[in-house]
Amino acid sequence: MTQKTGHALIHDYLRSLDASPGVYRMLDAQGAVLYVGKARDLKARVSNYARPSGHSGRIARMIRDTASMMFLTTRTETEALLLEQNLIKQLKPRYNVLLRDDKSFPNILVAKVHDFPQIKKHRGAKSEKGDYYGPFASAGAVNRTLNQLQRVFLLRNCTDSTFESRTRPCLLYQIKRCSAPCVGRISKEDYAALVRDAERFLQGRSTDIQATLALEMNEAAEAMEYERAAALRDRIKALTAVQSVQAVNPRGVAEADIVALHMEGGQACVQVFFIRGNQSWGNRDFYPRLGGAESPDEVVQAFLLQFYDDKPPPRQILLSHFAEDPELTAEVLSQRAGRKVEILVPQRGEKFELVANALRNARESLARRMSESAAQARLLEGVGEAFGLPVVPRRIEIYDNSHIMGTNAVGGMVVAGPEGFIKSQYRKFNIKGTEITPGDDFGMMKEMLTRRFQRLLKEDPDRQTEAWPDLLLIDGGAGQVSAVDGILADLGVEDIPVVGIAKGVDRDQGKEEFHRPGQRPFALRMNDPVLYFIQRLRDEAHRWAIGTHRAKRAKSVMANPLDEIVGIGAARKRALLAHFGSAKAVSRAGLADLLAVEGISAAMAQKVHDHFHPRG
C-alpha cells in the first residue's frame, strides 16, 4: 500500500483536529521539519493545506513534500505564537523565514562597584553591577560614544587593577580625556557629578548639561577661578562639537527601534536603527532567509519575534510595513519587555521620515548584496569550469594546519559559498593523535579530515543538508592531494572533488599550481579573477589556522600545572600560590607542608602531592 503524502495526507489529519489554538509541524519523508506554523484555529488552518489547488508555488512544493504532521495545542494564540518561534529557532525549517544573524549587541556600562565608576563597553549577560545603556548597533558606535564621553566628562576607562596600581596620571589625563581620579586629581564628589552628567547625556539630556556647565563657568569666572572656568569652557566646546556631528538625532522620538524591510528578487533586507535618548546609536542590516514568496507582513512579524527573542524591545517600534498580526505581536513583545511596547507604521511627520531613511538604506544595502552575490556566483561558476566539476560548487571547504616544530598543532577549516565566507561554519581541530610525529602535516590532515567526515557521516548520512561540501581545497601539492583522496576513499566518500594548491615556480604568489587526483597539474592565467578568488580562499584558511594556533600557544604559555588537578578551583589555587609563591614550589612541597595551607584538607593535600609525585 502506497503511503499518502501531500494534500491527501493532510486531509486525513483533519478528523483528529478541533478549533483549538496551537502549533503544527510539516515533515518530509526523512522526518526533517519543512515548516512550523501557528494557528488560532488548528482545524481551519490545516484545512487550507488539504485543498488540492489554489496555492502559491512555495506552498504547493511544501504540501507536496509533506509526509507527516505533528500538532501541539495551546491555551491561547499568544502561547502558540511563542511556541512557534521557539520551534523555528530550534529546528530552522526550510520554508520558514529565518533570522540568520545571532550576534549580540554591545552596550555601554557605567560600572558601580567602585568609588570612582568606570565606563566601558559591555557585551553579553548583564550580570555586572551598574547601569547599562544600549543597544548600540556595533562596537564602532560604542567606541565613538565612549570617545565622546571621555572628551566631555573625563571619566576613566581603565580597569580596577590598573586604577589601583597608578602612581601618576596616564596619557589620557595629559590630553584631557580623563580627570585622573587614580592619583587624587579629582574628589569623589566631583567625579560622581561627572558620572551623573554622563548618564544624563546618554539619556538624551545634553541640553540641560550644557546650560548647567555654562552657569558653572560664569560663576567660576566671577570668582576669579580662571583655571576651573577654562576647564569648563573646554568641556562645553567638546559637548557642542559632539552635538554638531551626531547624525539623525530626532527631537520627537526618545526611545525606538526603526525596522524597515525591502524585498526584491526572492531576497530581503531589514534595516534596524536604534534610537535611545533622542540619539541615533547606529544601524545594522539583516538578510533573513526566506522560504519563498512570503508577503512583507509575514517577514516583518517573523523578524520582530526572532530579533527580540533574546533582547528587550524598546517602548516603540516604527515599521515600514505592518506585521501579519500587529496586535498579537505587540502583546508578545510587551510580555517579554514587562511593559507596553507600541508598534507603529507612521504615515507622516518625523517618524515617517525616520522610517523612509531606514527603508532607503535597506533598498541600497540589498542592491549591493545582490550585486556582490552575482559576482560571487560568477566566481563559483569559474571555479567549477577551471576544475572540471560536475556542478557549480555551493559549499567549498578549505583546510590548513599550523604548528611550531609540531607543538600546539591545530587544523583549520573555512567555508565559502554563494554569499562569500560563511564564518559561522568555520571549525578548528585540536590535533590529538599521539601517533603523529612532530611536524607530520600528512598525519594532521588525516586526523582533521577523518574527524570532519566521520561526523558528517554520522549526522547526515543521506546528505539531506547543505553541510556536505562540493569541493575541498587543500594547501599542498600532489602528495597531500593523494593522501586526502585516500583518506576519503577509506571513509567511503569518493565523490567529493579534491584540489591541492601548491606554490609553483619559485613559490611566488600568482604562479600557483593546482593538483587533482590522477591528473596533471595545471595553472591559471596570472590575471584570472578565479585565481585571485582561490588565493583569497587559501589565505583565509591560513589566517584562520594561524590565529587558532597562536591562541592555543598563548593559552599553553599561561597554563598553570595546578589547573590540571581535579578539585583545585580558583580559591584553593589562590591559597596554594599565596602560601608557596609559585606552582613550582607547590610541586616540590611535602605532604606536611601542603596540609599547612588553609582550606586544603588531608584528602586534597594527598591528591596534590600524588599529582606531582606519582607512585610507581
- Residue 170 in this model has a pLDDT that exceeds 60: yes
Give CA–CA dist 44/59, Å, rounded: 16
Amino acid at 501: I
**Region 201-218: what's the mean pLDDT?**
75
Measured from the Cβ of residue 457, the count of other Cβ atoms closer than 10 Å reads 14
Give this prediction's pTM.
Answer: 0.70
List alpha helices for 387-501, DSSP H.
441-459, 478-490
- Please report, in angstroms and rounded to a whole number, the separation of the first and last CA atoms in the chain: 69
Of 123-132, 328-337, 429-438, which has the strongest mean pLDDT? 328-337
- Determine what percent of the chain falls in helix, strand and coil, rounding each to the nearest 5: 45, 20, 35
**33-67 confidence digits (pLDDT tens):** 999 999 999 999 999 999 888 888 888 889 999 99
**262-290 confidence digits (pLDDT tens):** 998 888 999 999 998 888 888 899 999 88
Q: How many alpha carbons fall within 13 Å on the CB side of residue 595?
A: 6
Give CA–CA dist 500/204, Å, rounded: 57
- pLDDT for 247 equals 45
- Residue 334 in this model has a pLDDT that exceeds 50: yes
Q: How far is CA 158 from the centre of its chain?
A: 26
Q: Helix or strand or coil: residue 373?
A: helix
Q: Is 412 exposed, middle or buried (0-12, 13-18, 19+ CB in 10 A)?
A: buried
**How large is the C-alpha radius of gyration of the chain?**
31
List domains and CATH numbers for the chain. Answer: 6-91 (3.40.1440.10), 107-245 (no CATH), 255-367 (3.30.420.340), 396-546 (3.30.420.340), 561-612 (1.10.150.20)
Residue 183 DSSP one-character state: G
Paired with 119 in beta bridges are 110
From the list 90, 98, 95, 147, the residue with the least C-alpha distance to 120 is 147
* Band of residue 505 on the pLDDT scale cut at 50, 70, 90: low
Share of the chain above pLDDT 90, in %: 33
**218-247 confidence digits (pLDDT tens):** 888 888 877 777 777 777 776 666 555 444
- Residue 392 in this model has a pLDDT that exceeds 90: yes
Measured from the Cβ of residue 213, the count of other Cβ atoms closer than 10 Å reads 17
